[in-house]
């Protein structure tokens, strides 16, 4: 019987060296080092340097560390977006969100955040609506997107559209898909907005008593809501003004 060791195919050192070189181990180590450094910069609050360092890896899809680099880049972009927003530099905030969307096209948060800034801060309801519709097409249970569409439609006097969008928002609330992390604060804000917008819709339709009833039901569900209470007071003033006794 031949020695089984003699049957093994010999692999030369040159072959092993070629395999090691082809694996791009040195490039991988360098990318890992850059990601570690960028993560440390994020933790120190140096978001711009972190983003500059990690972005080439994040946008290099063939890089084995692209996914990790994207996560770090997104962390930096999130903070930079907030900085611009707090300064009132909404255009720069939009540019950051566009970078985020390019890195994560399926992510809901940067899309919804961009739409909110366009609508609430930059008075561009058309552009905001387009983004919200894109979101609802791909994520039909995104409650924030339906709520945004309802808000814009109601503001523009498109009552039928507002009714349709608000109905969808209430229906998907049972099994929602969230753009924002669904903390208690976020969920409370969304539900408050839904009650207030529905109350405003009923008032627009001429049903002030119905609006008041609905808003009071909202107070029962979201106790202590200053937002809903303010809307109740507005409706009560309108009812007082319509009352014959007030003439």
- DSSP letter string over 99-162? HHHHH-TT-HHHHHHHHHIIIIIT--HHHHHHHHHHHHHH-TTBHHHHHHHHHHHHHTT-HHHH
pLDDT at 5: 55
Residue 177: φ, ψ to 5°: -115, 125
Residue matched to tokens 């010999």: 10
Check if the beta carbon of residue 135 is closer than 8 Å to that of residue 142: yes
Q: What is the pLDDT of residue 136?
A: 97
The token pair at 56 is 């080439």
Question: In the prediction, which pLDDT does 187 show?
Answer: 96
From residue 26, how far is each of 30, 58, 66 by CA, in Å? 6, 18, 16
CA angle 79, 169, 115 (to 5 degrees): 35
Rg of the chain's alpha carbons, rounded to an integer? 27
For residue 8, count CB atoms less than 10 angstroms from its CB and return exposed for 0-12, middle for 13-18, buried for 19 or more: exposed
Local mean pLDDT, 10-residue blocks, the chain (247 residues):
58 74 74 95 97 94 87 97 98 98 95 98 97 97 98 97 97 96 96 97 96 96 94 96 67
- pLDDT for 4 equals 54
Kindly report the pTM of this predicted structure.
Answer: 0.86
Q: Which pLDDT value is given to residue 222?
A: 94
**Sequence-ordered alpha helix ranges (H) in the chain:** 13-22, 25-44, 47-58, 66-87, 90-103, 108-116, 125-138, 143-155, 159-172, 184-204, 208-221, 226-242
pLDDT at 208: 97
Look up residue 162 and give its two tokens: 């507002």
């Amino acid at each position: 019987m031949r020695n089984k060791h003699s049957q093994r195919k010999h692999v030369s050192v040159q072959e092993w060296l070629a395999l090691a070189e082809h694996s791009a181990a040195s490039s991988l180590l360098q990318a890992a080092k850059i990601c570690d450094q960028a993560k440390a910069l994020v933790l120190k609050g140096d978001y711009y340097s972190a983003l500059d360092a990690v972005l080439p890896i994040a946008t290099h899809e063939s890089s084995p560390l692209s996914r990790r680099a994207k996560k770090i880049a997104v962390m930096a972009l999130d903070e930079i977006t907030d900085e611009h927003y707090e300064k009132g530099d909404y255009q720069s905030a939009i540019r950051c969100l566009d970078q985020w969307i390019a890195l994560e096209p399926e992510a809901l948060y940067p899309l919804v955040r961009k739409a909110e800034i366009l609508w609430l801060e930059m008075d561009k309801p058309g552009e905001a609506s387009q983004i919200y519709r894109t979101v609802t097409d791909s994520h039909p249970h995104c409650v924030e997107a339906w709520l945004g569409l309802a808000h814009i439609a109601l503001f523009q006097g498109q009552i039928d559209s507002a009714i349709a969008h608000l109905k969808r928002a209430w229906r998907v609330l049972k099994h929602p898909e969230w753009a924002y992390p669904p903390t208690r604060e976020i969920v409370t804000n969304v539900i408050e907005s839904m009650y207030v917008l529905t109350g405003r819709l009923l008032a627009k339709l001429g049903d002030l008593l119905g609006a008041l009833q609905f808003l009071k039901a909202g107070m029962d569900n979201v106790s202590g809501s200053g937002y809903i209470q303010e809307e109740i007071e507005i409706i009560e003033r309108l009812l007082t003004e319509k009352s014959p006794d007030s003439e």
